[in-house]
Amino acid sequence: MEKGNGQRIYKWAMLTLIIVILTSLITAFATYQYLNTEGKASFSKEPTTLNGLEYTLSKFRSEFEKKYIGEINDEDLINGAIKGYVAALGDPYTCYYTKDEMDEIMEETNGNYVGIGIYMTLDREKNAITIIKPMEDSPAEKAGLLPGDIITKVDGQGYSGSEMDEASNRIKGESGTKVTLEILRGTETKTFEITRKKVLISHIETKILQNNIGYIAISDFDGGCAEEFKRKYEELAKKGINKLIIDIRNNGGGIVDEAIDIADLITEKNATLLITKDKENEEEITRAKSNPIIKMPVVILTNGYSASASEILAGALKDNEKATLVGTTTYGKGVIQELRRLSDGSGLKITTNEYFTPKHSTINKTGIKPDVEIDLSDEAKAKLQLTEEEDTQLQKAIEVLKSKN
């Protein structure tokens, strides 16, 4: 979930008004030109305006009441109408959330998560749901799910990449209940039955490597990540590290401001960290607010699942010559979403900006190429956990840092 700079909540009052209008409607969004019942009855749609939409929906509702043999749940129909309205934009990152879904999102952002514990992303080329990585000590990790696994079915229901939010909602559930995932791993299909539970989310993992090299792995950029990063770095600094590796491999992003605040710890005051463009093509430049506290050589580890806020951090440090990037080209999600909670408790995540690196390099659908390109072997990629010796990208990062003063 991305949040734009400053969290400009309710920036577009008219957008909220449209949603309120839609929530007053009483049935599902019209998707075809005519409704025919056994060839005996039909009605035509009104023009595609809000008034025309309300007229058409009232006609559908009338037909449902006369002919439909099942139960009619108005709340489900209204939510379905809004979801369809938003999805018709064709942007996989712009979504409508019901109140219950929004409550879950806010809990996850604050570090409270009940489910199986996986980070997922949309593979645009395959239109597939790809696992970035399982969370540490999660049911997913213990079950054997791996980075790169593609989720094809949840409880027997098939899902494509464009249906990732629906799949995610189905994977979640009450602690102690079970969910069955069908996974495509290479050419092999596997099935996993996993019991959901509360997963404790920690953003940061640290250790000290050879030659007093500090290592910080960032799993996501959710709330509190930057503060935790600073605290963990200071603990490493007290232990005498003189060089630093920041690992954002398999980090699918999070809150933009968290990534910016971490970049601020490493770059000079007033340095450009991020350039964004809005719908009117107007640029906004985000700059470092303070002097750096991290002045030692830094290497950033990246891969094809380093996305969004991860790319903001990588781009800021690369263009300001504060870090060397080692690994493979990043994912290429160069757009920012703002998450807005509406008055009824529901929410809207909407793509509002495209972002660029400080040197104006495009990220969206392109990614950031590392300074030193090196991939893991196929054998290493198939392993859930690598030793330091097996991790060729980590070893290259250590080698790069040894060459720096």
Contact 122, 129 (CB under 8 A): yes
Cα–Cα dist 25/15, whole Å: 16
Alpha helices per DSSP H over 320-391:
378-381
pLDDT tens-digit profile, the chain (405 residues)? 444 444 333 333 334 434 444 444 433 333 333 333 333 444 455 555 667 778 888 888 889 999 999 999 988 888 998 999 999 999 989 999 999 889 878 877 666 678 898 988 888 788 999 998 888 789 999 999 998 899 999 999 999 998 988 898 899 888 999 999 999 999 999 999 999 998 877 789 999 999 999 999 999 998 889 999 999 999 999 999 999 999 999 999 999 999 999 999 999 999 999 999 999 999 999 999 999 999 999 999 999 999 999 999 999 999 999 999 999 999 999 999 999 999 999 999 999 999 999 999 999 999 999 999 999 988 887 765 788 999 999 999 999 999 987
CB 330 within 8 A of CB 78: no
Of 277, 299, 258, 252, which Cα lies nearest the Cα of 360?
Answer: 277
CA distance 289 to 256: 15
As to burial, measured by CB atoms within 10 angstroms (0-12 exposed, 13-18 middle, 19+ buried), residue 143 is middle
Q: Which domains are present in the chain?
A: 13-97 (no CATH), 112-200 (2.30.42.10), 204-402 (3.90.226.10)
Exposure string for 301-322, b = 16+ CB within 10 A, e = fewer: bbbbbbbbbbbbbbbbbbbbeb
- What are the residue numbers of the active site? 308, 319, 333
- Beta-bridge partners for 326: 301, 372
**Which H/E stretch holds residue 286?**
strand 283-287
CA dihedral 352, 353, 354, 356 (to 10 degrees): -160
pTM value surpassing 0.75: no
Classify strands 95-97 and 272-277 as parallel, antiparallel or unpaired. Answer: unpaired
